[in-house]
Structure 1
Amino acid sequence: MTAAFQASLLALDEELGLGPLGGTVRRTHLAHGAWIDLRPGWLTGADTLFERLAERVPWRAERRRMYDKVVDVPRLLKFYDEGEPLPDPLLDDARRALDAHYGEELGEPFRTAGLCFYRDGRDSVTWHGDTIGRGSAEDTMVAIISVGSPRSLLLRPRGGGPSLRHDLGHGDLIVMGGSCQRTWEHAIPKTSRPSGPRISIQFRPHDVR
């Protein structure tokens, strides 16, 4: 059963839109050439976008092989490939803004959008890096916008070590860059605490998954 979504009291009267990037983005340099950028509350009126996406996106439940058995993926998914129309015009605006801010550093535009719907605290994603395709050998970027209820995103050095925690939701932006996908891992762990639904939107360059 999906937990009820509770809108942020601060967002009830906000108009749907994007704030500035520029000097509002805070970069943290990690080990091994990795870094993350954080921009809390980049998307204003984020709860409105959450409701639109929850209703409009053709969400899919998937099953994947894990070792010797096939299991349910503990979240709903939708991937928008290059050239595929996005489900809301604000996502087009967000991608253009990210291209304008990061294009020179990245050297290319963001091309795809992967959406994940975490219905409650039982939905999760285990430790991983986006290393399918070029991310396994090249520095790249993955930009994630979170809408809905906050959930903890954890990062740790690949192979183990102390983890960093960021609670993301209600329009927060995190960008993982440099060697982050190769040398660090990230996860959304399960939680037994009451947790409302969250949608993450991940923008990636060509051939990064």
Structure 2
Amino acid sequence: MTAAFQASLLGLDDELAIGALGATVRRTHLDHGAWIDVRPGWLAGADTLYERLAAAVPWRAERRRMYDRVVDVPRLLKFYDEGETLPDPVLDDARRALDAHYEEELGEPFRTAGLCFYRDGRDSVAWHGDTIGRGSTEDTMVAILSVGSPRPLLLRPRGGGQSIRRDLGHGDLIVMGGSCQRTWEHAIPKTARPAGPRISIQFRPRGVR
């Protein structure tokens, strides 16, 4: 089930650089006022950032109550709140670029960064929306930059329905916007196939988790 990290031929350049957005972003309109934007390969040198974050971030394992028992969260986590120094300067560049592209539509800047480390195919996140806070009642955006090996991100209408799949890794960007957090759900499923490690960086506005 576990596979070693394999760098992308496009991510071997050690120079980290955020790419353009603008016309390079592909938007897909979903039902109920939700949409997703995808920008493949947004971060050049993404495998270098993966290596840096894997080594430098103070990753934390968590346990959470599920029904009548406490279980391990199947991934490692680190949350950077407003005012906290991000673990690599390129993440500041990424946030500034997202603000420049989306602030007029979003109406506010991205403020926080949550990091998840999926170590292999056993790590996952169940179906959910980011509805702790304003995402439960307001349209908002969550921007996810993925580094490391690709893993499928699935989206489906809340309550069930046909899912949409996007494989994300090696510097890909996905932005979930409009009503997506409250009318759709997303997940990173477990897999029995060999899966290399992946780190996702989720940029969110204030009051959205």
CA contact (8 A) 1:3 1:119 kept: no
Partner of 2:182: 182
Name the CA distance, whole Å, in 1 between partners of 2:103 and 2:190. Answer: 34
Cα displacement (A) at 1:11: 2.0
Alignment size in residue pairs: 209
Partner of 2:118: 118
Partner of 2:41: 41
Deviations 1:29-52 (A, max 9, x none): 000000000000000000000000
Name the CA distance, whole Å, in 2 between partners of 1:14 and 1:156. Answer: 36
SS at match of 2:73: strand
Between 1:8-17 and 1:34-43, the stretch displaced more is: 8-17
Matched, 1:63 2:67: no
Partner of 1:9: 9
SS at match of 1:60: coil
Cα displacement (A) at 1:73: 0.1
Partner of 2:156: 156
Cα displacement (A) at 1:133: 0.2
Runs of at least 5 residues in structure 1 that lack an aligned partner in the other structure: none
Cα displacement (A) at 1:15: 2.5
Name the CA distance, whole Å, in 1 between partners of 2:13 and 2:184. Answer: 38
In structure 2, what residue type is equivalent to 1:160?
G
Cα displacement (A) at 1:2: 6.1
In structure 1, what residue type is equivalent to 2:136?
S
Deviations 1:122-177 (A, max 9, x none): 00000000000000000000000000000000000000000000000000000000
Cα displacement (A) at 1:184: 0.1
Partner of 1:85: 85
In structure 2, what residue type is equivalent to 1:147?
V
Runs of at least 5 residues in structure 2 that lack an aligned partner in the other structure: none
Name the CA distance, whole Å, in 1 between partners of 2:31 and 2:142. Answer: 17
Partner of 1:208: 208
SS at match of 1:74: coil
Cα displacement (A) at 1:80: 0.2
Cα displacement (A) at 1:14: 5.7
- Identity, % of aligned pairs? 87
Name the CA distance, whole Å, in 2 between partners of 1:94 and 1:122. Answer: 29
In structure 2, what residue type is equivalent to 1:93?
D
Cα displacement (A) at 1:77: 0.1
- TM-score normalised to structure 2 length: 0.98
Name the CA distance, whole Å, in 2 between partners of 1:182 and 1:64. Answer: 22
- TM-score normalised to structure 1 length: 0.98
CA contact (8 A) 1:75 1:119 kept: yes
SS at match of 1:110: coil
Name the CA distance, whole Å, in 2 between partners of 1:206 and 1:13. Answer: 34
Q: Which stretches of structure 1, 4 residues or more, deviate above 6 A after TM superposition? A: none
In structure 1, what residue type is equivalent to 2:89?
P
Deviations 1:157-203 (A, max 9, x none): 00000000000000000000000000000000001111100000000
Between 1:3-12 and 1:139-148, the stretch displaced more is: 3-12
Name the CA distance, whole Å, in 2 between partners of 1:143 and 1:85. Answer: 18
SS at match of 2:154: strand
